[in-house]
Structures are given as C-alpha cells and as structure tokens.
Structure 1
Amino acid sequence: MILVTGGAGFIGANFVLDWLRGAQEAVLNVDKLTYAGNLRTLESLQGDSRHVFARVDICDAAALDALFATHRPRAVVHFAAESHVDRSIHGPADFVQTNVVGTFALLEAARRYWASLERGEREAFRFLHVSTDEVFGSLGPTDPQFSETTPYAPNSPYSATKAGSDHLVRAYFHTYGLPTLTTNCSNNYGPYQFPEKLIPLMIANALAGKALPVYGDGRNVRDWLYVTDHCSAIREVLARGEPGQTYNIGGWNEKANIEVVHTLCDLLDVARPLAQGSYRDQIAFVKDRPGHDRRYAIDASKLERELGWKPAETFETGMAKTVRWYLEHQAWVNEVASGEYRKWVETNYTKRM
C-alpha cells in the first residue's frame, strides 16, 4: 500500500485514479476535504477494496500515527497543500498551517514509522514530496529555465510556504536519513481541476456568457503540464528516483496567459459555437494581482536524462482533451461551484473589473 495525502484534490485525485488504473497496489487516501477536495471525483472507486479513504487533517499527529500503524504503507506521496496564489494573498494563515505545519507533522509521523521498520522495509521506504516551480521566483524574458539547482526566491505567501516545506523535506533527509524525494512541477491542467484556476475558470465563464478576467496585460508566462503526464512522472520518480534528490517536472510548453485564453476560446468556438461572434469577445483585462510573477519555466531535462521520462501530451492535445472533458462533465463543475466558490470569485475578480 502507498499513502497519498490530498488525494481528493485536483492532482492528487488524478494520481489516485491513474495509479489504480495501472496497479493492483492499494492506496490509503488521506484528505481533510477542504473546499477543493471532492469525493465525487473518486466516485468510480466506490466498492474498490484497493482504495481506502481517511478524512484526516495532516496536522493531526495522533491520527497520522494511527494510520501508519494500521495500514503500514511502503511509501508516502504528499500532495496535500493549499495551492492558490490569490487565496494566499487574501488569507496566508491557512497556507502556513497546511503547507508548513502539516508537512512537518507528516514528516514526523513518517520518521517515527520508518524508524520502526525492519532493515529491508526501511531501505525500500520512500517519502515523495510534491512541490511547485513557484518556489524559484520569477524569470526575465531571456533568463534560463529553472533547474534543480536554481536558488529559491519565493514571492507569494503560497510559494513561500511551499519553499518552507521543501526545506523541511531536505532537512529530514540530511539530518535523519529519511529517504525523501522532491518534485517541483509547472502549472498543471486537465480533468477535475477546481474552477478557481485559470483554465477551468475561463471555460466555465465562457459557457456562462460571463467576462473572461485576465490579469494585467496577459503576458505572464507559465509552463503548462497536462495532469496525467505529471502523474506518470511521479510514478517514475517514486519507483527509480534517488533518495535526497529533487526532480523538475515540466511540459516544455511556455505560454503567455493570453495565449492560453485565446486557445481555449478558439477550441470552444468549434466545439460549442456562439450564435454570433467569438468567445474571445468576452475577454476582459483586469487589475493585476499584487506581486504577480512574470515568468516561470521548467527545465525537465534531468528527469528525462536520468529516468527516461518525457510528457506524452503536447499543449495542443492536452488542451483539446481538457476542453472536451469539461464540456462532457458539466454536472461535476456545477456541483463544485458552491456558494463559497461564488463568494470567492466575487472577492477576487469582480472587484478588479
């Protein structure tokens, strides 16, 4: 069995589904079920004995110790995190608690459990920490891409707390010998993403006839990674990564935000055409968010060189799959877009118009 934290969230749930499609090994899925956690994403696993769900806060040390003792996982894959920059600007305390304190509590529980194992099991155990490229800060237009040795320079409460969690994981390897692995990924997109993030937000607003809010001049650049490619990379790192190492995971798809929105509009113009005009007509540039990093770019060559991993999807194929999924799963989107979510959109976007 492997223990997955945050397995009802966007990337975590995709990983759990992907793992159980290709392996018989069971998953202990640990999730607090905050606003972004959705068990409906995991409906297809109902009745599957390989999927064990535990509603537990990773800050709860006693609950974590009980889970390790009962289920005896051979690895931890740690996705659980508060992950939205805009939310971290409005309310950083939750990010410190989950991303820093929660990761500390999980590391301590894993260390206690690992120390109790027999030698062979101790050597085989792994703690894989899933992080972000945002810990490296912002790049200029001609700067080289982030590598695993790029100095940390986080600029938002979100990225600062993720950087803190990365440093804790590194320290637990070097101080205690806990066999850790860290991955730093670029912007994920694909099925089951909560509609506060750029791509699902644009799709939902476009279909509802609402404005498509784009920060600033829309020229902020991100590298885009289709979520199932991220899942496949994590499997490779978990299976063959060297303890103590970090691995960058990227899609080799640097795109300005406005290019992403234009691509979505063009795909929707074909798949769900308007009576007249284009979805591009709904684009509205809004006041930029504070401290908005200009460019992120991931160099994923170490992962390809050492473990042979490359993304399977291009930006074009991944975006086409994503738009098709959201068009075919409007019930899921409507369910997650709760009153709390609508209040958040009002707070973060409407007042910028």
Structure 2
Amino acid sequence: MPPVALLLPGAGAQYPAMAYGLYRYEPAFTTAMDAVLGLLGRTGERLYRLWSSGARLRTVAEVHPLLFAVCHALSETVRDRGLRPGAVLGQSVGELVAAVQAGVLSLADAVRLVSVQADALAGAPAGGALAVAAAPPAVTPLLRGGAAVAAANGLGQTVVSGSEFGLAATRRALEGAGLTWMRVQVPAGLHGPLMAEACRDTLPAFREAGYTLPHTPLLSGCAGGRPEPERAVDPEFWALQPSRPVLLDAAVGQLATVGPLLCAEVGPGHGLAVQARRHGHRAVSLLDGCVGAPHEERDRLRQALDCLVLGDTAQQRPDDAPGATVAWLRPPGGGSA
C-alpha cells in the first residue's frame, strides 16, 4: 500500500454543514471532531451549533476553527483506515492541521493557536479576495488601492486580496485589460498586508507553543515547498502566514521530491486534488467539494477511502462525468494515472 499525501485546504473550500453527514457515523471522525470542539470550550459549543444547523459561516472566527476541526478529523479518519501519511501539505489554516499531522505541534497547542489567530484576524480591516484567470506577472501591474497577490495557484490562476475599495479598483483594471475574475468565498483579505498587524499581535501566543521537528515530510503553501528544519519550528513562520502569499503551485510541485504518493484532499473541497492532478499525481478528494445529503457525504468518503486502501485506479471515472462523486483525478493529457 503506497503512502498517502494529506492535502489540507484553507478558507474558501468551506460550505454549510461540511462533513456533518459523517458525524456519529464515522467513529474516528466523530472522536477527532469532539476532541477539537472540546478543546475550544464554549467557542466549540457555538461552532457545533452553527455546523449542525447548516448555518452559513460568515467570519474568520467561525470559518478557521471549524475548517481546522473538519480537516483534522478527516486526517484522523484516513489514519484509522491504516493508511500511512507519507507527506502533508497545508494551505492557509490547513497549515496548522499539517503541523499537527507532521508532529510539529500538539493538537492542544494547534487548537489554541487557531483560535487566537482566528479571533485576531476577525478584528483586522475588512476585505476580501478575487480569483483571476491569469498568472501573477499579468495581474500585478493591474493591482490598485493596496490590493496584493495572495496566492499563485499555477496555470494562470492568481488570487488577489485587499480592501473592498482596492478590490473594486482592481476589478475595473482587470476588466479593462480583458481578464476574467470571480469573487472568492473568504471572509477577509487573507494572505495580504491587511492581515499584517493582526498576525503580529498573535506572536506572543505562538512563542508559547512547543515545536518539534516534523516526523513526516511537511510541505507548506507559505514556504512554496518544504520549509527548512529551523523554519518549521520558528513561531514567526507560523504566526505570520495569514499575511503572506500562498505559493501553492510551487508547494504541490515539490510533492514529487518526496517519492511515489497517492494524494488525498482531506477537507471539504477538491481544489488541492485538482492541483495535484495537474502535477501528474493520482489524487482523490474525500468529500469532492459537493454539498449533498448526509448519506451522500458518507458514500463519497467511503468510496474515496476504498480507492486509497486498494490503490485501485480501476474505479476511475472522468472528472467531469455528470453525477460523479469521488474519482481518481487523471494527469494532464487524459492518460491514466
């Protein structure tokens, strides 16, 4: 059985009641969710009510802790099936989940930090993000009003964050240049200068945590790959991530240096699995980013886990097949994975 690379997404992948269909039905998932929500105390109780009711998550203080909990619980579900993580790759808040899965942070420290960080970011200046169908060199000259490149996702995909004023001015410049854009469902101007002061305010909390060198290869969207050992245990590296751009394409590109891996997106979306496919990896998404009935989430999860356990590409279906749930995503060019 080949090792699995756990791909851990950030804000933008969430949807109401994400993965709630697994709760009480998947024991490992339930236990891990309860552990995180319990560590969050009263905040965990409030988040559980939002999660179970299907309410829309509107703020960073809601999105980040709950997304952290779901991604951690899905990671523990993968481990419960006897699958060995051969690498972990995190993006945005998924980086803190990756830190736990790689052994850099204890779960208790990571939950405390994600809570501190989320509260600080929720108090940052209001803003948002745009996804632009162009590479950063084409987008950068069109940025206006303090907007900045927040993520470089490869193949002409750039995310821009900033204040509403800056985004409005940038949209006009993008349209004038004939570039296509869409709004990203994130509740703040993450991974840009709007977050800098709030991130600095969290440094004392990050310095109180205990850090250990990773026992599993750790790849970081912030670092654009594997951070140096001293950086992986540097509180500043973790604290300032929400104010720094995500170099996702570069990070996914370095997965191949770890060795042969099956990739599993252990979160509510499928964007990281798609990125892995573009780099030639076999990749599966545990929830496939689809909102559905609770039993459909369970079916998707179990099918994905079966694929991972068996390493079986015979269950492949085309990515764009109507009604497709979980599928091995094929490398570019349509060849078999």
Settle same-fold status: TM greater than 0.5. Answer: no
Give the TM-score normalised by structure 1: 0.26
Q: Which has the higher contact order (CA 8 A, sep 6+)?
A: 2
Q: Which has the larger radius of gyration?
A: 1
Give the TM-score normalised by structure 2: 0.27
